[in-house]
Structure 1
Amino acid sequence: MSDETNGTNEAENEQRGGSPIIVNVQYVKDQSFENPNAPQSLLAGNGAPKIDLQVDVQGRPLGDNVAEVQLSFRAEATQGDRTAFIAELVYCGVFTMAPLPADQQRALLLIEGPRLLFPFARQILADMTQQGGFPPLMLQPIDFVDLYRRQLMSAQGDDMAEPQGTA
């Protein structure tokens, strides 16, 4: 028997019974590597750099059940008081999601979207730092559920922090 179905494509089949999220495309939106103190920062004896990593996840709708997820990284490495390197990456994907209530769709997008994009972004950052003359930056897995919860709590805290009228 054939796998073909009456004119439906794979994405439609997955949405009906399978995956609630489909990757349509993924891409580098912005990438930057700075090595401001080279070649001194690359010489032996400087020790392993201390790395400060910032991660941000954003999502925006593009149409009905279609949205872009933007996964942003900024890694700043220092050796003593000098900058060894600054690596920045904005890696994105466009996703189609199953029809769900808006809050569930947002959670799905901002948890599963970055989870699917992360391995590719991690490899790009590792390659970028290695090509800059440093050991590859190997990021540990990120708990995107926790990151999403913290974003929600921060947004709720901002709502609560608005000035209240006095009686």
Structure 2
Amino acid sequence: MAETNGAGQAQQPPKMNILAQFIRDLSFENILSQKGVTGEVQPDVQVQVNLDAKKRTAENQYEVVMKLKIESKAKGSNDVLFLMELDYAGVFSIENVPEEQMHPFLLIECPRMLFPFVRRIVSDVSRDGGFPPLNLETIDFLALYRNEIARRQAATPEGTA
């Protein structure tokens, strides 16, 4: 006869489904064309990534938003070539993840699932804006999460944590 107490039950593996994903906000400013700059330009691209996650009203549903700010400047002159801002959201159904592990799960695993779609959008929009397609490097969401936790701990005065 199988045990029925908490210690005898096997932990169910985490289960995640993407219910929806969508562009929440997108802005592309082609500053190069507004200035009428011509000739060959070497870009220097800076990418900022922010993540946000929240519980939805439906049971086991969470919304994760990846916010990118991409600025391309000309090497040497530092003139801005283009500025892109993208908020890309995913709605996830997540089960069998312990509460203490939910925060890192939402900010590491969920963005990993969204990233290929974000990369394609950035590539398409930069190409459609008249530039070579910008193929984002893979983002290490685990390192991003650890850096944010360390930054928050450093910003918290002693004794208030």
Q: Give ranges in structure 1 of 5+ residues lacking alignment.
A: 1-15
1:114 is paired with a residue whose SS is helix
Q: 1:84 aligns with which of 73, 76, 81?
A: 81
Q: Which residue of 1 aligns with 2:65?
A: 70
Measured on the aligned residues, the alpha-carbon RMSD in Å equals 2.1
**Equivalent runs, 1:23-102 vs 2, <5 Å:** 23-38=18-33, 40-41=36-37, 43-45=38-40, 47-63=41-57, 64-79=59-74, 80-102=77-99
**Alpha-carbon distance between aligned partners in 1 of 2:16 and 2:134, rounded to the nearest angstrom:** 29
The structural deviation recorded for 1:34 is 0.2
1:155 aligns with 2:152: yes
Q: Give ranges in structure 2 of 5+ residues lacking alignment.
A: 1-10
Q: 1:117 aligns with which of 114, 124, 137?
A: 114
User: Scaled by the length of structure 2, what TM-score is found?
Assistant: 0.82
Number of aligned residues: 146
Q: Percent identity?
A: 34
User: Scaled by the length of structure 1, what TM-score is found?
Assistant: 0.79
Given residue 30 of structure 2, which amino acid in structure 1 is its aligned partner? N
* Alignment check: 8 A CA contact 2:12 2:96 kept: no
